[in-house]
């Protein structure tokens, strides 16, 4: 990470506390600027902490299976329906409420597809925050994991 004071880069460091102790600067006097690589690594670590690769792979399999199942039962515009339901979730509605209009025989499929959509949207929101942090030269403020 890099340190800025008065808008100028004054050094690259590994540990902020050590830097402050060695220089006598206060935390308020400096700005921490992360390299793009550090920010990308931070983002990846944050995402994988909540949504590990094994779960991502499982979600792909679940998505394929449940989409096939619902389409075989006659579901139309399934992708648009799931996206609309995911938007309702991010608008504050509960999963139970969002799928309350779904037939009991299809609830599990809709719930799984909705959870996949929610996790994928969360990953996209994390990536958007990464881009903003890089552009604004600041530490990312990632969204909370929604599930």
The whole-model pTM stands at 0.78
For the stretch 41-92, pLDDT in tens is 889 999 999 999 999 999 999 999 999 999 999 999 999 999 999 999 999 9
CB 106 within 8 A of CB 73: yes
Give me the mean pLDDT over the 101-127 stretch. 97
- Between 116 and 2, the more confident residue is 116
Helix axes 78-90, 107-136, angle to 10 degrees: 60
CB 117 within 8 A of CB 59: no
CB 79 within 8 A of CB 66: no
pLDDT of residue 143: 96
| Residue of 33, 8, 16, 110 lying closest to 65 (CA atoms) | 110
């Amino acid at each position: 990470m890099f340190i800025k004071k008065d808008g100028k880069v004054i050094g690259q460091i590994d540990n902020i506390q050590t830097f402050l102790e060695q220089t006598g600067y206060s935390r308020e006097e400096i700005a921490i600027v992360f390299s793009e690589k550090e920010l990308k690594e931070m983002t990846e670590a944050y995402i994988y902490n909540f949504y590990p690769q094994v779960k991502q792979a499982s979600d792909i399999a679940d998505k394929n299976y449940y989409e096939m199942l619902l389409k075989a039962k006659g579901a139309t515009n399934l992708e648009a329906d799931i996206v609309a339901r995911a938007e309702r979730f991010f608008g504050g509605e509960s999963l139970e409420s969002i799928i309350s209009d779904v037939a009991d025989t299809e609830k599990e499929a809709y719930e799984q597809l909705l959870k996949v959509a929610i996790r994928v949207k969360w990953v996209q929101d994390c990536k958007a925050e990464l881009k903003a942090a890089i552009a604004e030269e600041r530490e990312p403020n990632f969204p909370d994991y929604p599930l």
